[in-house]
Amino acid sequence: MEKTNGIHYIELSNNFIRFDAVSQLTNVFFDDSNKQIFAVRSGGATGVVVKGPVEDTVITFCMSDRGGAIRSIKFSPDNQILAVQRKENAVELVCFQGEQPLLQDIITHQVKTLIYGFVWVHNRELALISNTGVEIFQIVPEKRQVRSVKALSISIKWFAWCCDANVALLCTNEGNTLIPVIIKQKVITKLPKVDLGNPSREVMESKVTLGRVYGVLAVLILQANSNSGMMEVEVHLLNGPGLAPRKCHVLRLSLVGLFAINTVDNLIVVHHQATGTSLLFDIALRGELINDVTYHSPITPGRSIKPFGLKLPSLSPDGQILQCELYSTNWVLFQPNIVIDAKLGCMWYLNLAIEPLCHLISDRIRLTEFLLQRCSGKHMLLKVLQQLIDEQYKGTLLPVLETIFDKINKIYASWVQLELQSQTAQPSNVKTTVSKHAAPPIVLIEQSDMAQILQTIAERPYTESVLMLYLQSLNKYNIAAQEELSKMIISELIRNRSFDTLRRLVSYSMLQESKSVACFLLAHSDVNSAISQVAIDMLGKIQAHEIIIEVMLGQGKVIDALRLAKNSLGLDKVPARKFLEAAHKTQDDLIFHSVFKFFQMRNMRMYETTAFPKAEQCTEFIQHFNNTFSADSTIKMQIS
Amino acid sequence: MAKVLQRVEITLRSFYIFNSSFGQKEGQEERKVLFYHPDDIELNTKIKDVGLSEAIITFTGTFTNEDDCKALHTQKTTQLFHQPEPGYWLVMVLNVPKEFRLKDGIEVADYRGGEVSDRIYHAVLRQCYQMYRFHHGQLASKITDTPMSAGGEEQRQQLASELQQFYARYLSSAKDLMNCDIMDMLHSIQYLALDKTLFLRAHNFNMLCDTFPSIKECIMLYNEQIVCGGKLNATDLYSLHSYILFTAPAVSNSDRYRHGAFALEDSETPIKVFIDVDGKIEPHYLLVYRALNLTLCLFVDAKLNAPKQEFYEELHNYMGPQLSCLARDIAAEISKQSVSSTLHESNSQDSSPKYLFINEQSLKHHTNIYRNAKIPRNVMSIIADLANPIDNDSNAGTAAPTEELQVKTTNDFWIVKRRCNWRQYYVILCKSKATLLDVTQEAKRIFEQELTDDVFFDK
């Protein structure tokens, strides 16, 4: 059954858990709530080893075999009470002190009904699901008491439990309906039933999987298509009004046989035992829409799980490697992504191998959509983008890039918006509810990330087009360009001599307006005077008058600078020495005279004398003035 | 003052192009004349006119550079000289406007030479050359042989017939000289004011050039206004703009362009135009595509074969839907703008202030001069005299100084000019009893109200 066709998009995790394999003496149980695996030897008498959720956490203890094979065994969430079911109408509760059971204090809770199973809903609360309904019990170990807290009476055929969402799906005896029920501490909430379309339709327990996809509980039902006979998975999402389940998606498997379902990173993985392949479905991707139900095909044709070599414990250093049988009949799958081989004594988590998967999706837009929903997608998406604008670049790809940018920025914009809302101070009369700190999107590609990628294609013929497309997309979602991006756009526009575009971007305020960006522009003003115009425009917009004054002084336009300084700083704050020095440098007597006279008049106004205060250190310029415009030379000038 | 009986406006007396190097030998003087308008004139007169111009140019050349001869005023005419390429001179002779008055019972002609603004008409002359260059390339590029040789003579004749063909059509369709004004002088263009999202969409339509590598440049116009000028330099853009305006009425068949179509002339090959690419004048095929009110001018490298029918179809399929969608969005945006602006202008009268803003760098203007009543000629001439010549090469690096000027004309108009950061701003007010203070305040109000897109920090 081993197929090594190169690319595998699903793999078994390396951090697996080994446990004692099932044998005549040993029974193995798995609690999917705590992700603990119980290896029970001789009914517990010779020891119970509890491992999970990782290899290192191990609890070992012994307990007496009290008759009757163990049907189910589960720790409370804090590992302080162990619930064991040996009989069909009783649950034993063993309190723990540290990691050892207090075997003298076993509480046996007996009911009159047939117990199908139990789940811990709280450290001291246990819900029993039996043929007559659901009942929550509170355990008070100090008093050795078990109190009924809440009960829901309903005739039940079988049930399924989803620990992530605290939801049980009950299959009732009357009418074969599937009813989701939320079981939480002290509360049982019945939800609207799953609409199966045909009232007489009977659903078997083995065909139903509960999972959580994109934060919504999904009831996945395997069934054969009435026309083709091929198997399909109906996806009922609990996202209707009042969490009512709605049939939203159908996954077309186009296969027959035995299937098992996992969810990995919001993908639905359907394993097919006969072909030894796993199909991937993403309900967030577009499919064929018929009567409000989306029909999906697998993202790519099915491929097998990556072969797994188990290193056997051995004394020799090279050891022996055992190739695990994939899709074995000994496999038991648990939600969301747990694979247990009971015979081998091994438990794995299923992981998505995202990089090989990317090679299988050739449509770049679909790939972007796909990666944007994967928790490890950011790195890959950036890599894909990098390739698109670098070695794979073609002019015809620009519309594709445009769509990809839009998809990325749509998410980015919603995040920026959320952050903005959380930052804005709330009015004091609004009760500061525990501000729900919104979770960031699964994949958030910010401007800084993009800037890093775009940096790598600097100074290519097409870079300007790519940057402008990205800017357009940002603008579409009302995100302002940051400094890094602004500077990159400026460099490219200058390099391509697209001064008109630069001018218009600045006049529309589409580039960041800051002193740093304006100075960046100024630094390039020797290329074309248009740039220095644009730079001064930007400085004017941000009212950075002091820089404009410096620029003007640098250009020798002392009078203009002085006028601006007077208007922006105020008459009393204009530094006399600086302007006199600049005027002196121009070697234009007229300018120097005007500037000098201006300050004399200012002195008159402020100090009631034409003399300069000592602190301004203008002696050398007073001297220069007196030398140049001494009484008789003034007359000469007037005559000439 | 005597009553004016009749007024004759400025008219074109003659227009000729010559190059002295073609007729160095005696008896071959007629070879210097490459083009002469009007054509139906004695050859001798033509030669004499050219000779006179040559003399004037040489004469002034002894005092200044040879290039500095710009204009000559006589009582009845104004002559303008322009040397676009070494040796090639364009001369335009204008009849100055005259007024006939009755003086002592006799009709006397009073020549108003002062009303002719050199700067405006010199710019008109310059544009005559630019349009030729836009369509046919540089004059000098046609003569590859030595001027006096047989091959050179053949090429000269060919050039002359080409000039004849071009200018006969150009001069007959050119704008009435009487109406030439500051806009013709500055060669500036009004851009379409768009919301930034639309601008970016329009601008990024340029990626057409990336998708179809044979397209070198892509210019978009909406009605008569430029949306995106691409990287075309201002002179070529102005020439293109005039060409599009000139051909537009002939093909304004709205039904045909609803879904976009190429505006093709009957001929199979598209017209060739010459544009300045990085300092070199190179030929390109000009394809004009229209969708609703949008006009897209595509420049295809003329070194390649002329585009075929398949190319047109491919392009049409690619951009037709996008462009018509963009055209509709722009139309919606403009109608939104015009609703708000009509509210604004409902109370405007003939005497309402006029303004003109010009960015010297982009040659982009923003004005309401053409709305309602026209501005008197003398005011226009004053603006033309005030306006700083726009010359991109000479003042690179240093910004022009800040200026502020207020002028009152004899007929009670006020002109306020400001110049700052490579921009010129004019406000024209018509108030007889206004004081300097009133004018300053009114001008300030208009600057603040109308100057929304550009920044004027020294308010």
Q: Is residue A2 one of the residues assigned to a domain?
A: no
- B456 contact residues in A (CB cutoff 8 A): 540
Tell me what pLDDT residue B267 has. 57
| Confidence label for B54 from pLDDT (cuts 50, 70 and 90) | confident
Does this model's pTM top 0.90?
Answer: no
User: Is B383 in contact with B182 (CB distance < 8 Å)?
Assistant: yes
- Point out the residue among B362, B399, B423 whose CB comes nearest to the CB of A555: B399
Tell me what pLDDT residue A21 has. 82
Helix/strand/coil (H/E/C) assignment for every residue in A212-254: EECCEEEEEEEEECCCCCCEEEEEEEECCHHHCEEEEEEEECC
* Domains defined along chain B, listed by start: 4-180 (3.30.450.70), 189-342 (3.30.450.30), 354-450 (3.30.450)
Establish how many alpha carbons lie within 13 A of residue A127's alpha carbon, considering only the half-sphere containing its beta carbon: 27
Tell me what pLDDT residue B165 has. 86
What is the span of the domain harbouring residue A193?
10-198+208-309+324-352
- B279 contact residues in A (CB cutoff 8 A): none
Does residue B176 register a pLDDT over 80? no
Residue A29 belongs to domain with CATH number: 2.130.10.10
Of A290, A283, A292, give the one whose Cα is nearest residue A246: A292
User: Chain A within 8 Å of B391 (Cβ-Cβ)?
Assistant: no
Give the start-end residues of each E strand in A215-372: 216-224, 231-238, 245-252, 259-264, 267-272, 277-281, 288-290, 293-296, 309-312, 320-323, 331-334, 338-341, 346-352
Q: Is residue A230 one of the residues assigned to a domain?
A: yes
Which A residues 45-64 touch B at CB under 8 Å?
Answer: none
Tell me what pLDDT residue B190 has. 78
- A537 contact residues in B (CB cutoff 8 A): 421, 454-455
Q: Which residue of A has its CA nearest to B458?
A: A564
- Point out the residue among A465, A552, A563 whose CB comes nearest to the CB of B210: A465
User: Chain A within 8 Å of B157 (Cβ-Cβ)?
Assistant: no
Q: Is B221 exposed, middle or buried (0-12, 13-18, 19+ CB in 10 A)?
A: buried
Q: Is residue A632 one of the residues assigned to a domain?
A: yes
For residues B312-336, give the mean pLDDT. 83
Q: How far apart, in Å, are the Cα atoms of A561 and each of A331, A514, A548, A601?
A: 82, 21, 8, 17
Q: Is residue A542 one of the residues assigned to a domain?
A: no
Q: Is residue A185 one of the residues assigned to a domain?
A: yes
Residue A57 distance to chain B (closest CA, Å): 57
Share of chain B above pLDDT 70, in %: 86
Q: How many domains does chain A have?
A: 2
Taken in order A98, A102, A103, A108, the sign of the CA dihedral is negative
State yes or no: ipTM above 0.90: no
Of A531, A575, A527, give the one whose Cα is nearest residue A550: A575
- A525 contact residues in B (CB cutoff 8 A): 397
Tell me what pLDDT residue B346 has. 47
| Confidence label for B456 from pLDDT (cuts 50, 70 and 90) | very low
Q: Is residue A481 one of the residues assigned to a domain?
A: no
Of B389, B320, B337, give the one whose Cα is nearest residue B360: B389
Residue B294 distance to chain A (closest CA, Å): 19
Regions of chain A where pLDDT drops below 70: 1-5, 313-319, 425-438, 631-640
DSSP state string for B243-264: HHHHHGGGG--TTTTTT-EE--
Does residue B251 register a pLDDT over 60? no
- Point out the residue among B231, B401, B457 whose CB comes nearest to the CB of A498: B231
**pLDDT tens per residue, range B405-453:** 888 888 888 888 888 777 888 888 887 777 888 888 888 888 777 765 5
Q: Which of B195, B204, B322, B451 to mutate to test the interface with A (most CBs of A within 10 A)?
A: B204
Q: How far apart, in Å, are the Cα atoms of A206 and each of A14, A37, A183, A202, A336?
A: 29, 21, 22, 12, 16
User: Chain A within 8 Å of B362 (Cβ-Cβ)?
Assistant: yes
Q: Print burial letters for B272-282: b (CB count within 10 Å at least 16), e (below 16).
A: ebbbebeeeeb
CB contact (8 A) between residue A526 and residue B399:
no
DSSP state string for A524-576: TTTT-HHHHHHHHHHHHHTT-HHHHHHHHHHTT-HHHHHHHHHHHH-GGG--H
**pLDDT tens per residue, range B184-232:** 787 778 788 778 888 888 888 877 887 788 888 888 888 878 888 777 8
Average model confidence (pLDDT) for chain B?
78
- A536 contact residues in B (CB cutoff 8 A): 399, 421, 457
User: Is B453 in contact with A534 (CB distance < 8 Å)?
Assistant: no
Q: Is residue A162 one of the residues assigned to a domain?
A: yes
CB contact (8 A) between residue B204 and residue A469:
yes
CB contact (8 A) between residue A528 and residue B396:
yes
Q: Which residue of A has its CA nearest to B234?
A: A500
Q: Which of B195, B197, B200, B240 to mutate to test the interface with A (most CBs of A within 10 A)?
A: B200
- Point out the residue among B395, B397, B458 whose CB comes nearest to the CB of A563: B458
Tell me what pLDDT residue A438 has. 66
Which A residues 518-537 touch B at CB under 8 Å?
Answer: 525-526, 528-530, 532-533, 536-537
| Confidence label for B351 from pLDDT (cuts 50, 70 and 90) | low
Q: Is residue A470 one of the residues assigned to a domain?
A: no
The reply to whether omega before A53 is within 30° of 0 (cis) is yes
CB contact (8 A) between residue B200 and residue A472:
yes
